[in-house]
Structure formats: C-alpha cells, structure tokens
Amino acid sequence: MKLKNGNIHLIDLKRVLTKIRFITIELLLYLRQNRLKMKKTLLLLSIIALIFSCEKEEPLAPNTYEITVSAKGIVNGLRSYIKIVDGTRKEILIDTAIVMNEVYTFRGEIKGSAIRVMTINSVKGMLPFVLEPGRTTIEIYKDSIYYSKVGGTKNNEDYNLFKNELKKIDETIRELRHKIKDDNGNNPELVAELRIKNRIKTDESIEYLHTFISEHPNSDFSLLILESYINRPKQNFDKLKESFGLLTGVVNKNTSNKLIGQKIETFINLKEAQANLDIGKVAPNFTAPKADGELLSLNDIKGKATIIDFWASWCKPCRVENPNVVRVYEKYHEKGLEIISVSLDRNGQKERWLKAIEDDNMNWHHVSSLKFWNEPVAKMYNVSAIPATFILDENGVIVAKKLRGQALEDQIASMLD
C-alpha cells in the first residue's frame, strides 16, 4: 500500500488484496493436484511472502520524522500546522499540511525529541505531542483535539499515559465541584468533606508532573515534560530540583538530552542566584575594578546602611535620579551611609564614565568592568534594567530594592535617623 499526496488510495489496496487472494487460491489448487515436495511448497509460499513484503514501508532516513494523521470529520482543504509555543506563548511555525480525504502527512527533519503542538484551522484547541525521528501516527478527535490518540513512538506512548492519568484526576475534581455546587448548602458537613477532597485532588493535579517523573525516571519524555515545566509562570522549585535529580541517566543518554539537561540546570542555577537576592538575604559579596584598576569589594566599604547603585553614563533615567542620590548621600553619609555605584558603561568609554561621575557630583565608591550588560556584578545581581538599587543594613542583609526618589530617602532615614 502506497501513499499518494498524503492519502491512502483504497482502490489500489483492493486490487493488491484481490491479486494476492487469487494467487494464493491458485497455488493451493496447484499444490493439491500435483503433490509437490516440501521444498517446492516453501518456495511457492515464499512468493506469497514476497508479495506482502513489497508493500512494507521503507525505513526512514536518520533524523527524519513522518507523521500520518487520520482526521475523521475534518473538512478537505483545511490546513494543519506543527508549531513551537515558547514560554511567552509566542508561536513559531515548523511544518504544515493540507487535509485530503480525512488524512494528511507531515514529513521533515529533526534532531532529538521535543514537545510541539499541532493545530488545525477551524478546530478548537491544540494537540501537544512529541516530535522526533521515526514514524508517528495520530488519530484526531475533532471535539477534543487535546486528547487525540498519538502512537508510533515510545515518547508519545508515555505522553498519552501522562495525559490520560492527568485527565482522570481532573475529572474527579470536576465531579467533586459539581457535588459541592449541587448541594446548595443542605449538608454543610458533606460539603466540608468534599472541599477537603477537592483540595487534595487539586494539589495532586498540580504536582502530577513530578509524580510521573518519579514513576518513570528512565523515560526521555520525563525530561521533555520537565523542560516544558520551567516555562510556567510559577514552579515548585524544590520539586523541580528533586525531579531533575532523578533524570541523571536520561540526561546523559545522548547529545540532545544533554542539551536539555544543560538548559534545565542553567534555569535552576539562575533561580538559586535570584533567591539569594530576596529581601532578608545577605547580599552576595563582589569584587570589581575601580577606575584606577585597583579592586574593591563590597565587604570592604559596607556601612550602617549601604546602597548598591547600578547605573551608566548613557542611561538618561539614571542621570535624572543621580541628584536625588547625591542629596541622600550628603545628608546621611556622616551617619553611616555608604554607596557603591556599579556602572554598565561600554568598553572604550571610560572617560565618559568618569566625566559623568564628576558632572553629577557622585563622591562615593565606583567600580566597573566596562562590559555594558555583561557587567559581571550586574549579572550576579540579576540586573536587567537601570537604575537599580539594593539597600543593605549594617549586617549586609538586603532590606529593600529598586527604590528611587523620596522612597529611597525614606528608607535610609528609617535606618539612620
């Protein structure tokens, strides 16, 4: 059986089957009439096997995917898409195909495995699945595309298992909520019991991803679903680290998985670094060059109150804010206020940096590697916009962040007046 333009031609299939049936009958009659020996019998039967083998699919080339989609009820001519949906919900088109006679086929190249989504024009929703080398089959459920049947590869079988188990939990939650709603306050004790069960099941639904990973630590899909988890607005960070720790074997399995593992590990390291910058945490110490090349550390200059000020000579809002910072410094320096400014000026613009310091009367400590947004201290403090400030108490603990104008003075006053 061959595919033409992505469609199975049933007429050709019937012709092949009829031909096979006819040849088989003729061979059996011939064998009965002529009483051939076993060797000849096997030879003739091998001819039948050869006819069937001619219809087998040829192996795909390395790094090639082929997706055959059965789309019952989908109108001819509609277009289907495979897309990447990133953490900001931005969609990137990968492949497209047109529905003909309720079937269509995607074919292309991909290295490794990745979770992608399929959509169809005029069909509500999208189908997440694992796009990877090999043959994948999809049976579209028009009224519930998310739960369409995907098969052909181990990762997609694991994805089906994941979705189906999660579906059972969510169905239980819906049933509990319907019971609570239908009670209308007639049985408060029952409603309280149902609410507890609903809360337990809701937590189970939220954490099911980690449950699945713990039960399938050798599955490539577990790594893929964890990769998608880091794009959520909120994560259970401890659970994320725990799940990632279970997947060491999968991560080291191949190059593609190692790249995903590096991505997750980078995310974990960044989150841990950010956590160290929360209010109530001790500010990370740093050492950076002054204008004369000598190194200066935060721990060397901390006072009763300390402002870490990120700015640049090219930053207009910073220059507008500088007079306010000067005023606060002049008012509270003798009471124990220290400031260390970290400049994000560009390489080759040292004179511009120094001139801005002089013009704005910033008579405190200054450091910079002149590396623009790659300034090491700015990266350490996860600074993505300037001006930015961190206010520390006498023990170096962060007590406030991102204060400007009167709010900055009020904070220093509360610490030193």
State the amino acid at position 275 in one-letter form: A
- Give the HSE-up count for residue 392: Cα atoms under 13 Å, Cβ half-sphere: 23
Task: Please give the pLDDT value at position 393.
Answer: 96
Cα distances from 28 to residues 15, 25, 33, 87, 416, in angstroms, run: 20, 5, 9, 63, 105
Considering the chain, what percentage of its residues have pLDDT values greater than 90? Answer: 72
Whether the pLDDT of residue 150 is over 70: the answer is: yes
Q: What is the pLDDT of residue 29?
A: 54
Q: Which helix (H) or strand (E) holds 81?
A: strand 79-85
Per-residue pLDDT at 54: 47
pLDDT at 185: 73
How far, in Å, CA of 121 to CA of 98, rounded? Answer: 10
What the chain holds in terms of domains, given with CATH numbers, is 3-53 (no CATH), 64-152 (2.60.40), 159-275 (no CATH), 287-416 (3.40.30.10)
Residues forming beta bridges with residue 67, ordered by sequence position: 106, 136
Q: Exposed, middle or buried: residue 275 (CB in 10 Å: 0-12, 13-18, 19+)?
A: exposed
Q: Evaluate whether 360 touches 297 at the Cβ level (below 8 Å).
A: no
Q: What tens digit of pLDDT does each residue of 313-349 get?
A: 999 999 999 999 999 999 999 999 999 999 999 999 9
Q: Pick from 121, 137, 140: which is nearest to 77 by CA?
A: 121
SS3 state of residue 361 = coil
Token duo for residue 274: 């950010």
> Tens digit of pLDDT for each residue in 102-119?
999 999 999 889 999 999
- Report the range of poorest mean pLDDT among 42-51, 236-245, 311-320, 376-385: 42-51
Q: Map residue 363 onto helix, strand or coil.
A: coil
Which pLDDT does position 273 carry in this prediction? 80
Percent of the chain with pLDDT over 70: 86
Is the confidence at residue 142, as pLDDT, over 80?
Answer: yes
pLDDT on residue 172: 95
User: Given this model, what pLDDT does residue 187 score?
Assistant: 87
Reading the block at residue 80, the tokens are 């289907």
Mean pLDDT along residues 65-88: 91
**First-to-final CA distance of the chain:** 87
Q: How confident is the model at residue 233 (pLDDT cuts 50, 70, 90)?
A: confident
